[in-house]
Structure 1
Amino acid sequence: MTLEQYNQLPYDYAHCAGTHCKKASQCLHHTAYTMLEMGGRKQYMIVNSKVIADKQPCPFFDPNRKERFAWGISRIYDNVRVADLSDIRQNLIYTFGRTAYYRIKRKERVLTESEQKELAQSIGITLDGIKYHIKNMTKQGLIKHEGSTKAEK
């Protein structure tokens, strides 16, 4: 985590000194704690390590890596044979549940990385296949990247 990223954390973000935790090296709360000396904050919140000592998984765990989310699934059927369309749709509804399926389709809910992997398995393609199609659709102008990029630094 860079100092700039640390300074973007909310002031009431809880810092965790729990070095005894197995996931401390992967936790954003612990990473924030290690940044305290450089951050220059006068006040900060800290998690009581005695409260979380015996609780696994930790209720405060927050991964310190960026997660890739996907919005919507409207283009998922573009390269599917018409004969397979109904089966794939039913499989997706079975995988996510009817309510979640329609929320994802209407872009009211994001797909997490783990759900993207599950989706790829349920329709019989690999995650690399999804990345390949995303790259091609981006080149064709069918989809676009939203949010920050590494080039904005």
Structure 2
Amino acid sequence: MNNPETMQIPYNFGVCASADCPKSATCLRHIALQHASLQYTFLPTLTPQKLASMKGKCEYYCPDTTVRYARGFTRTAGLLTVNVAGTFRLRLISYFGRKNYYLARKGEYLINPAAQQYIIRQAKSLGLQLDDYFDEYVDGYDWGY
């Protein structure tokens, strides 16, 4: 996943064009700008005035490290008893929203580490103890969402 050529940059991810930043080689915002898709003519970019005002202490630095995302939790949802399955679903819909809940459940929406912990806590609180709660895992960039 560390190949910038294949990364899927979210359209609304703010990029940085600072050429003289000492952290530009490891900043996802600078790397994303270098590998932005040609389909986008304009991207949200840090302004030169904002860059100058920070005087070398960038508050928008975003390291190019990867995190482990989960993909899908259909097995977990299927193993819950009928008595608690509705509670689990409603709690997760309240956390993700209806559309993202169903996308995350099927594996079409990547689940970040914080959301993984939330899902595990909810399943455990309803009596489900598993070795693994997710269908699979993928490594990806942390776009800050």
**Length-normalised TM-score, structure 1:** 0.48
Q: Deviation per CA, 1:109-129: give whole Å up to 9, x if none.
A: 11111211222233346xxx7
- 1:144 and 1:114, CA in 2 relative to 1: closer, same or farther beyond 3 A? closer
How many angstroms does 1:103 deviate by?
1.6
Partner of residue 4 from structure 2, selected from 9, 29, 37: 9
1:86-105 to structure 2, matched below 5 A, reads 86-105=86-105
Q: Deviation per CA, 1:38-70: give whole Å up to 9, x if none.
A: xxxxxxxxx888643556741xx3333221111
- 1:106 and 1:78, CA in 2 relative to 1: closer, same or farther beyond 3 A? closer
How many angstroms does 1:96 deviate by?
0.8
Residue aligning to 1:116: 116
- Higher RCO (CA-CA < 8 Å; seq separation 6+): 2
Residue aligning to 1:68: 68
The count of corresponding residues between Structure 1 and Structure 2 is 107
Structure 1: which 5+ runs fail to align? 33-46, 138-142, 148-153
Residue aligning to 2:84: 84
- The root-mean-square deviation of aligned C-alpha atoms, in Å, is 4.0
The structure richer in helix per residue is: 1
- 1:16 and 1:68, CA in 2 relative to 1: closer, same or farther beyond 3 A? farther
Q: Distance in 1 between matches of 2:119 and 2:137?
A: 21
